[in-house]
Amino acid sequence: MIFIRTFIIPLIVLLTLTDMVFFRFLMHLSHGMNMKIYFWILILAIEFYSYQAFRTLHQSSRGLAIYIAFHLLLYGTLIYFQISTSSGFSSSNFKKTIILLSLVIVPKIFLAIALVLEDLFRIGLYLTQQLQSNSVEKNISGRRKAVSWLAIGIASIPFLGVLHGIFIGKYNYHIIRKKIKIKNLPSEFEGFKITQISDFHAGSFDNLKKVEYGIDLITETNPDVLVFTGDMVNNYYKEVEPILPILKKLNAKEGMFSVLGNHDYGDYGKLTEAEKKESIQGLQNFQREMGFLPLNNEMKSIEKNGKKLNIIGVENWGNADYFPKKGDLKKATQAVQEDDINILLSHDPSHFDHDLPGHDNVIQFEKMLHLTLSGHTHGMQFGIEIPGLIRWSPVKYRYHNWAGWYEKNGRQLYVNRGFGYLAFPGRVGIWPEITVLELTKA
């Protein structure tokens, strides 16, 4: 038992929390196992370390009893919220569950990492002592109070970060501007400005004044074209109704275009097939009221002096089995001509790689897609971004193209971090984004 507690558990927790290779392996296995089981195993491992830290600092039986009672009440509440949660990501109990988990578990992850590192140091010290002495009476040193206090101090930082993300970060809109260099770009489209927005998740909004502020920022970019790259709702089209008057303020000189994301199909609630169909139609009718032209595997050309810039929109195409694969690029590009400039709107950035030659799932397309615009990942709404220094989020282990600009084989991709939020009602380090892309000749 001592061996398991001091050797095996620290190793498993460290691998689970910090090693990307093992993390990817777990993600691969998760397609064939119950994710809830994995989730609760991870929670138990984290709580194991949290309890160790508390026990080191407060050894009285009364203090330990209070600690245990609090956590029994906490997890009892979480289980109650899970059982009583109605359909969809917008329910009150679902939001409460995510808030509680974020405030309690996220800080403990950092606490666990600190204590795992201490355990590895203790194990190393123990093994060194064994090699240097013939005595078998050596024991692993006890956990030090100073390290537990340090771990709690480290854990307080993400706790405050989560609070900031819930109350401030989710509406901390950032405008990101980038020049997109395109070889042989006609002079007619030099300086052509595309504003991209994505992932509203309208059912999650709880402050319409903040939303209106974000919409005003979008209109102030004064784009030639405004594009929306999917997930306007969480599950049902009527989520848009409260913000419809605000969204009608959107405009662009040469038109506004939209595509559907995985959440726009109504697959995440208890909708019948008829209700799903009604929701898709209702959503796209709302988008037309806003001034958007929905592109369902379709293309719209913008022509200047005989030169064309094509806005190509496909329905959702995700590389996971649980995401819709309705995108039909071949159908959408039937009218593309050889010298056209082609901008693809496709919600899921995994579509970008699967269009490239050499993939089994390649959607054949002989002509150049100069720029693909996607969303979907939200940057997981959690991470660290310091321009020019670091850009990290756990979502990178699921999507290697997860935020910002990418280039491959002469094709470019931009992944918008999303305007809204889903599940966790906040953003920590990955802020809501309005993207302004300016085309220029390479």
Range of the domain at 117: 2-167
Q: pLDDT band for position 2 (50/70/90)?
A: very low
Do 161 and 183 sit in the same domain of this protein? Answer: no
3-class DSSP assignment, residue 215: helix
Res. 374: pLDDT tops 80: yes
Question: What pLDDT score does 28 carry?
Answer: 43
Res. 176: pLDDT tops 70: yes
Closest by CA to 276, choosing from 288, 262, 290, is 262
Res. 404: pLDDT tops 80: yes
Do 91 and 185 sit in the same domain of this protein? Answer: no
Q: pLDDT band for position 124 (50/70/90)?
A: confident
- Cα(177)–Cα(162) distance, integer angstroms: 27
CATH number at residue 248: 3.60.21.10
Report the Cα 414 to chain-centroid distance in Å: 15
- Cα(376)–Cα(416) distance, integer angstroms: 8
Do 272 and 209 sit in the same domain of this protein? Answer: yes
Total count of domains within the chain = 2
Question: What integer best gives the mean pLDDT of the chain?
Answer: 84
Do 145 and 206 sit in the same domain of this protein? Answer: no
Do 160 and 186 sit in the same domain of this protein? Answer: no
Do 98 and 242 sit in the same domain of this protein? Answer: no
How many Cα atoms within 13 Å fall on the side-chain side of residue 245? 3
Do 202 and 156 sit in the same domain of this protein? Answer: no
Do 249 and 366 sit in the same domain of this protein? Answer: yes
Do 437 and 289 sit in the same domain of this protein? Answer: yes
Tokens of 148: 């537990």
Do 263 and 390 sit in the same domain of this protein? Answer: yes
Cα distances from 30 to residues 101, 223, 378, in angstroms, run: 21, 42, 21
Last residue of a domain, one of 167, 187, 214: 167
Q: pLDDT band for position 215 (50/70/90)?
A: very high
Last residue of a domain, one of 133, 167, 201: 167
Residue type, 336: V
- Cα(352)–Cα(370) distance, integer angstroms: 11
Mean pLDDT across 396-418:
93
Share of the chain above pLDDT 90, in %: 51
Mean pLDDT across 40-64:
81
Burial class (CB in 10 A: 0-12, 13-18, 19+), 254: middle
Res. 396: pLDDT tops 80: yes
Helices 35-57 & 145-167 angle (0-180, nearest 10)? 130
- Cα(317)–Cα(351) distance, integer angstroms: 6
State phi, psi for 376 to the nearest 5 degrees: 80, -45
- Cα(256)–Cα(243) distance, integer angstroms: 18
Last residue of a domain, one of 117, 151, 167: 167
Do 146 and 194 sit in the same domain of this protein? Answer: no
Tokens of 366: 């002989």
Mean pLDDT across 106-129:
82
Helices (H) and strands (E) in the chain, counts: 12, 14
Residues pairing with 406 in the sheet: 413
Name the residue with higher pLDDT: 328 or 79: 328
Of 133-142, 239-248, 428-437, give the lowest mean pLDDT range. Answer: 133-142
Q: pLDDT band for position 314 (50/70/90)?
A: very high
pLDDT digits 0-9 by tens, 131-173: 776 555 555 556 677 777 888 888 888 888 899 999 999 999 9
Question: What pLDDT score does 3 carry?
Answer: 39
Name the residue with higher pLDDT: 368 or 207: 207
Question: What pLDDT score does 101 carry?
Answer: 80
Do 160 and 177 sit in the same domain of this protein? Answer: no
Question: What pLDDT score does 338 carry?
Answer: 85
Name the residue with higher pLDDT: 321 or 214: 214
Residue type, 174: H
- Cα(235)–Cα(238) distance, integer angstroms: 9
